[in-house]
Chain A
């Protein structure tokens, strides 16, 4: 099966993604790319990226809470797309960070 080169826009570096592989899976295995990830199911919206160029196949339903198409039709969930040619992608900022009352959550390191 074919693999395609995925270029990360700001960095210029690339990684390979297989025809039957999700872009997120390839990013994580390459250890490189604008990846945040969560549910791997198209539901949580955390793995959002923008595809600047190239064609891809959407193999999983993407939650419309996060992907609306229309003017933002090049914003997709990286866990739900497989490449059908070389792609150029870039990060989309998550925007969900400021939803908690601000206080320190991290507890002290466990080992004592």
Chain B
């Protein structure tokens, strides 16, 4: 039985400035596997440790950034209920037919939240051909490449009115909020939201411009892999933002860096186990720097200022 009716963020579509160089990064450095290409030239990829058809789609465009992300829910009944609840919440929905613009995915319900981002929900997706074994399974079949990213883990979105977006996630998607950061006058500055035991599946930071992405996070197995990722960044001259370091918020072990199109990537290991019955952790804005960069102990300006 699922911990929650929303299972996880299953798909993100990102815009990139140039497909070849950036694709080489995602495949050979981050370590994702190419699954297929669409008729309109987008590339579908997945982490080696994921079961579902694909989790990352790259679209060449004039500006990098976030197109949309989709959450998998447990069944058709939940999908229908959440579609109705989304409309009732005040977000008009549209329906993307099965197997249309994302190969292997069933129908998706799409809508735009208060922060200006498009999110989608789905319940059906084909199993990938390359996926973890399930019969007396080995831990992997092909040796993981590069940074050894296992799966799409989470993303951090920047936009206005995150309090409403958070409320949507809890009221409609049934997610819960293990950790928040508030301004001195009590407004929400940041929220970390999950539908599982992970400390976050998505997060928001309050920001004047809508529709921006701060980073997309990929999961690594442990701190050793975080160090390995740093080696790969150095060898390939990828621009590092912050890390290797640890967050106090979520307790994740992390590095942030930029891929060749300027999208910020996080490689992330660890994180505490979140339960909906546990008390919420709160950070004050003054302490946010230490909360994000536990070892540095202060805010790093580039982290706040740079988004795509």
List residues of A whose CB falls within 8 A of some B CB.
Answer: 38-44, 46, 60-66, 94, 96-101, 103-110
Contacts and interface: CB of A to CB of B under 8 A. Distances in A.
Contacts of A65: 62-65, 308
B171 interface: no
A-B pairs, 8 with minimum CB distance: A43-B262, A110-B297, A41-B262, A39-B258, A64-B62, A39-B262, A61-B17, A65-B63
Interface stretch (B50-58, B102-110, B205-213): B205-213
A63 B308 contact: yes
Contact of A42 (B209, B261, B288): B261
Interface in B66-80: none
A100 B285 CA distance: 12
Contact of B262 (A44, A94, A101, A107): A44
Interface of B: 17-18, 62-65, 183-184, 187, 189, 206-209, 239, 258-264, 285-290, 296-299, 302, 304-308
Report which residue of A46, A61, A105, A110 has the largest number of chain B beta carbons within 10 angstroms of its beta carbon. A61
A23 to B, nearest CB: 16
Contact of A41 (B62, B260, B298, B299): B260
A44 B258 contact: yes
Contact of B289 (A44, A60, A106): A106
B136 to A, nearest CB: 43
Contact of B298 (A39, A100, A110): A110
B297 A109 contact: yes
Nearest to B239: A40
Contact of A107 (B17, B258, B299, B307): B299
B290 A41 contact: no
A38 B259 CA distance: 11
Contacts of B208: 98-100
B17 A40 contact: no
Given A101-B183, A103-B183, A63 B17 contact: yes
Given A40-B239, A41-B259, A101 B306 contact: no
Nearest to B22: A41
Contacts of B189: 101, 103
Given A39-B239, A42-B262, A105 B302 contact: no
